[in-house]
Amino acid sequence: MTNAPPGAFTLRATSGTARRGTLELAHGTVETPAFMPVGTAATVKGLTPRDLREIGVNIILANTYHLWLRPGRDTIVAAGGLHRFMGWDRPILTDSGGFQVFSLESRRDIDEDGVTFRSHIDGSSHRFTPENVVAFQEDLGVDIAMMLDECIKLPATSEAVAASVARTSAWARRAASAWRHGATALFGIMQGGVDERARAKSAADLVALDLPGYAIGGLSVGETRDEMVRLARFSAALLPTDKPRYLMGVGTVRDVIAAVDCGIDMFDCVYPTRSGRHGRAMTRSGDLNLRNAAFTRDFGPIDEDCRCEVCALFSRAYISHLFRANELLGMRLLSYHNIFILDALMADARRAIEADAWAAFRDRIGAV
């Protein structure tokens, strides 16, 4: 535990537009830039908390929508909070569930007060408001809570984008008023689609609330990669330099490096573990599909330059065999390796920024 106020951020170095910082949270310090593995339902699929600590992960993400439905607030509170429930003693960020509600378009109704939706599990009806979503996350004892926002599908009309920004800003003001200012830091989420003026309006509304941190939402939902990078860079420049910036839903090597180059500090995505469950190994030079026949007698490591225990102990041929034999160990090993790749990438990025050598590092990866 630290004595700093929740979400205290220190910008320690810059190199070009890339940033190196530290974020002080109730359950520890997060070195940024940082990739956050996704543990949607209080578990990073296929990995134990011990695995994550061995890799060096300092913060993970869980999801309000899924935890609300199962196992529910009462069970997690009775367990002593989300950290104790899942055996993880480092920081946790919980998403608000706004994206999940957005994706359940046929199962929800949005109004000015909040959103009513039907569970994808059993069809039961539930209600999210800006206030009860913040309260739920605080009751779970997480380190960072995200505000409820309205994410819209792209492409969208300018009228729909403006309405989404207006609603997200109104909900943000209500969430900020409901926030207890305890051990849980509260982050706002910028919306605005691919409309720069709408994003500028959303950013101004959120920055006026003087929150501990800010997320860039509404990207990686249908726009091109070039649009994503352009808008991430534009959006980051609208946010305070002394607060952490979080780009939601980004998790490939190329996209994470591009986002760091945009001046963003935190990232999350299911991509590393989802890829691991489907036989796809991440490397800094591109992904490998280890289900391919070319790997059946390839006895080298996944990545010659990777320092993880999977690459030290197991060959491409062995992991290819595991997937062909439908053995669960293959999924676990690749998930471990993929998270390690991104965690090590961020550690190297931090060193490059500290040495004011970011551009050379970025260009070696070839991501931008």
> Does 95 participate in catalysis according to the annotation?
yes
Give me the amino acid identity at 304.
Answer: E
The long-range contacts involving 324-332, CB below 8 angstroms and separated by at least 24 positions, are 324/291, 324/296, 330/279, 330/290, 331/46, 331/276, 331/277, 332/46, 332/47, 332/276
* Backbone angle region of 7, left / alpha / beta, with phi > 0 → left and psi within -120 to 50 → alpha: left
SS3 43: coil
Give me the amino acid identity at 366.
Answer: G
Distances (CA, A) of 340 to 35, 153, 204, 306: 10, 32, 36, 8
**148 strand-pairing partners:** none
Choose among 278, 271, 327, 335: nearest CA to 309.
Answer: 335
The residue annotated as part of the active site, out of 51, 205, 255, 268, is 268
The residue annotated as part of the active site, out of 51, 95, 143, 261, is 95
Sheet strands side by side (includes 115-118): 108-110, 115-118, 125-128
Q: Active-site residue numbers? A: 95, 268
